[in-house]
Amino acid sequence: MSEDRRLRVLRAIVQDYVETSEPVGSKALLERHRLGVSAATVRNDMAALEEDGLIAAPHTSAGRVPTDAGYRLFVDRLSQLKPMTSAEQRAIAHFLEGAVDLDDVVDRTVRLLASLTRQVAVVQYPSLSRSSVRHVELVPIGGPRLLVVLITTTGRVEQRVVDVGTDLLSADGEDTLATLRAELNGAAAGRTLADASSELAALPERVDPGLREVVRAVVAALEDCLVEEREERLVLAGTANLARAGSDFVSSLGPVLEALEEHVVLLKLLGTVAEQGGTLAVRIGHENPYAGLQSTSMVSTGYGAGTDLVAGLGVVGPTRMDYPSAMASVRAVATYVSRILAD
Amino acid sequence: MSEDRRLRVLRAIVQDYVETSEPVGSKALLERHRLGVSAATVRNDMAALEEDGLIAAPHTSAGRVPTDAGYRLFVDRLSQLKPMTSAEQRAIAHFLEGAVDLDDVVDRTVRLLASLTRQVAVVQYPSLSRSSVRHVELVPIGGPRLLVVLITTTGRVEQRVVDVGTDLLSADGEDTLATLRAELNGAAAGRTLADASSELAALPERVDPGLREVVRAVVAALEDCLVEEREERLVLAGTANLARAGSDFVSSLGPVLEALEEHVVLLKLLGTVAEQGGTLAVRIGHENPYAGLQSTSMVSTGYGAGTDLVAGLGVVGPTRMDYPSAMASVRAVATYVSRILAD
DNA sequence: GATTGGCACTCGGACGGCGAGAGTGCCAGC
DNA sequence: GCTGGCACTCTCGCCGTCCGAGTGCCAATC
């Protein structure tokens, strides 16, 4: 019994099942694939595959359906990324290039991914701990109140209003502010978020005692911004695609939608991916540690400007998913959006 | 035949149907409500209500179900807001008061609303045309590049990087920058977004010809920010609640999810509400102009700091919805979040 | 004139039996 | 090791039946 052919049979089953969403039997398989053997042989192979836990029958005398393990084998060894047509590539590039700012890039990316794959798309905002502080700005906004603005290298901006107790403008005014600004930027600018955080913490001790309270207040606000900034955000699109999946899947839609609202969960999944470097990660069904997502698969990868991978993106859909094309789309979009961000 | 009793019957039908999600018959009504009359009388009343188009029978010999018109009458004349318990009020206040910034307020609000009503919650970012420019800031970020930051009274921040051609720091440096900053703020600060936009447009003509190109570039970036700022954003939560509705509703879930992703549509709906002042707006089923939402109802109202209503919030759910409690929750949350924003 | 009890009627949904068809497992032969 | 054949199993769809909820109507009653 040829091991090789058995795998070809598995591949054919996965392909057919993904396409028809119905259990596939030995006869149907022969009609759609030139396997060069008879139905009986295929049946023997299928029995063996079932023995190995790669496929399963919903009930006697229905066709077979791939198990999570079957999909896993398919993804690892039996499939190759479906190449993007040049038309698709142009469409991707064109769609992403119209973006005016970071929000727009993310927004367009997630929509693009959802419509390419017809799955739920997930895009993490590029703001990992790898980003660093570009600039700290202080703006007096009347009375003793100061607007503290933090700008990171990934282009994100956080701001806080701080009541510093004294009116810095009325007294020695702009000078104090300029000094303070210089001190803060000296401590934070160019450093990673974590480094900046610890540098800033030491700052109040090093300045003129008269300013100490002011600095303390400003630093506290900045710390707050830094934490917020490290707190990762993400954006979803295409949840409606879930409703178009097979009716079996729709019945368990509730938990999936709930899980998708748990951004923390999704961020964790994307996070581990981003760390692994530029490879495509695929999580299939029960490989997923979160209960609500165990009827789904997630295809994801990292993206970001330059060599630094700053965030992750991917798609979530039923385990019965067209992996080769989903993987290709995810990779292509990640590549393009990274290129856009490099500017 | 007492008109009054007929309406009591309608009210009972709506209440029962909302609770059980099954068509309600004359007998079931008698068991659950003390109407003081016999089943036959109720049947006569129901026939009349059906004649008036307020209820309908899915088929002969099933109970009756309210029509959109029936819900409308119920909402307008037969129900009163379910008062919030003081425990609920405390919970709302407590939950919202922990917020650290605007994003957090909106995030908490939408989650709160979703969990209170067990529906899909929709919250528009408070950034209508009524908001105005608080401050414009320029930050040199190396070479000929300048970071332009726009801060509005609603606390939102937009920023753009502009290449101004010349390196402002190396030449006459900070002075030019300070002048420019003053000019820009003179033109924009304190004005509404629309006013600021037109003031800024005239600015390049009024400055030193040598700076004209620089100003033009900066103003263009600011214009861009202003448009972006007027572009309204919104946030959703609780979409999983849709999956818990009756199975009849779940089958038409796709279009609803699609409609919910069309933020433009939701913004329009919320927008008309915000304009109408502080009243609660209820759109029931087909009263809704958008096809995807015609199996749903939307309860919404305006909110915002002070007397200015700057945005809308609300919930979307199946027409079979507990209107009194949804309306009460929406109103309560709007009130509290407005109070929070008043700071 | 409104209300009521009674009654015949209708229709949908549940139940059960039946047949068709798809698909399987196994076996003997090549 | 592959193949054709065959008996077997199980699901699904169909149909007829039955049951009950619920209605509409009518004559009697207050």
A178 in a domain, yes or no? yes
A204 and A255 co-located in one domain:
no
B257/A242 Cβ within 8 A = yes
B278 in a domain, yes or no? yes
B274 and B337 co-located in one domain:
yes
CATH code (residue B241): 3.30.450.40
CATH code (residue A48): 1.10.10.10
Tens of pLDDT along A113-162? 999 999 999 999 875 556 788 889 888 887 788 889 888 877 778 888 88
CA A75, CA A7: separation in Å to the nearest integer? 12
B335 and B236 co-located in one domain:
yes
Which chain B residue has the Cα nearest residue A246?
Answer: B251
Q: Is the pLDDT of residue B232 over 60?
A: yes
The per-residue pLDDT for A330 is 95
In chain A, the number of structural domains is 3
CA B154, CA B124: separation in Å to the nearest integer? 13
The per-residue pLDDT for B163 is 86
Average pLDDT of chain B, as a whole number:
86
Choose among A100, A240, A254: nearest Cβ to B258.
A240
Of A204, A228, A252, the one marking the end of a domain is: A228
B81 in a domain, yes or no? no
A340: its two tokens = 């856009």
A13 and A105 co-located in one domain:
no
CA B195, CA B242: separation in Å to the nearest integer? 42
User: Which of the four pLDDT bands, split at 50, 70 and 90, describes residue B53?
Assistant: very high
Residue A95 domain boundaries: 86-127+232-342
Residues in contact with A231: Cβ distance below 8 Å, sequence separation at least 6, in sequence order: none
Q: B141 to chain A nearest CA, in Å?
A: 8
Residue range B67-73: mean pLDDT, rounded: 96
A237 and A113 co-located in one domain:
yes
Amino acid whose CA is nearest the C1' of D20: B61
Q: Which of chain B's residues have a Cβ under 8 Å away from the Cβ of A253? A: 243, 250, 253
Q: Which residues of B touch A (CB under 8 A)?
A: 100-101, 134-135, 137, 139, 141, 147, 149, 151, 155, 157-161, 224, 228, 237-240, 242-244, 250, 253-255, 257-258, 260-261
A119 in a domain, yes or no? yes
A118 in a domain, yes or no? yes
Q: Which of chain B's residues have a Cβ under 8 Å away from the Cβ of A250? A: 250, 253
B68 and B91 co-located in one domain:
no
User: Which of the four pLDDT bands, split at 50, 70 and 90, describes residue B278?
Assistant: low
B161 in a domain, yes or no? yes
Tens of pLDDT along B286-320? 999 899 999 999 999 988 876 555 788 999 999 99
A115 and A72 co-located in one domain:
no
Q: Is the pTM value of this prediction over 0.85?
A: no
Q: Is the pLDDT of residue B130 over 70?
A: no
Residues in contact with A214: Cβ distance below 8 Å, sequence separation at least 6, in sequence order: A164, A165, A166, A168, A180
B269 and B288 co-located in one domain:
yes
Q: Which of B157, B158, B163, B343 is the mutation pick for testing A, counting most A CBs within 10 A? A: B157
A189 in a domain, yes or no? yes
Of B228, B244, B265, the one marking the end of a domain is: B228
Of B187, B211, B228, the one marking the end of a domain is: B228
The per-residue pLDDT for B273 is 66
A107 and A245 co-located in one domain:
yes
CA A317, CA A249: separation in Å to the nearest integer? 10
B141/A135 Cβ within 8 A = yes
Residues in contact with B3: Cβ distance below 8 Å, sequence separation at least 6, in sequence order: none
- B133-140, strands of its sheet edge to edge: B133-140, B145-152, B157-163
CB B192 within 8 A of CB B132: yes
The tally of CA atoms less than 13 A away on the side-chain side of residue B100 is 12
pLDDT tens digits in sequence order for chain A, 343 residues long: 577 888 999 999 999 999 988 999 888 888 888 878 888 899 999 999 999 999 999 888 888 999 999 999 999 999 888 989 999 999 999 999 888 777 888 999 999 999 999 999 999 987 555 678 888 988 888 778 888 988 887 777 888 888 887 776 665 656 788 888 888 889 888 887 767 877 888 888 888 887 888 888 898 888 878 776 666 788 999 999 999 887 778 888 899 999 999 988 898 888 776 555 568 999 999 999 899 999 999 999 988 876 555 788 999 999 999 999 999 999 999 999 988 888 7
A92 in a domain, yes or no? yes
User: Which of the four pLDDT bands, split at 50, 70 and 90, describes residue B144?
Assistant: confident
Q: Between B81 and A228, where is the model more confident?
A: B81
B224 and B242 co-located in one domain:
no
CB B193 within 8 A of CB B152: yes
Residue range B140-163: mean pLDDT, rounded: 82
CATH code (residue A183): 3.30.390.10
Strand D nucleotides with an atom less than 7 Å from a protein beta carbon: 1-5, 8-11, 20-26
User: Which of the four pLDDT bands, split at 50, 70 and 90, describes residue B143?
Assistant: confident
Q: Which of chain B's residues have a Cβ under 8 Å away from the Cβ of A224? A: 100
A298: its two tokens = 């997630």
The nucleotide closest to B43 (CA, C1' atoms): D23
Q: Is the pLDDT of residue B95 over 70?
A: yes
B249 and B202 co-located in one domain:
no
B327: its two tokens = 């309306």
CA A198, CA A204: separation in Å to the nearest integer? 12
List the A62 CA – C18 C1' distance (angstroms). Answer: 20
A217 and A275 co-located in one domain:
no
Give SS3 for B311: strand
List the B48 CA – C9 C1' distance (angstroms). Answer: 20
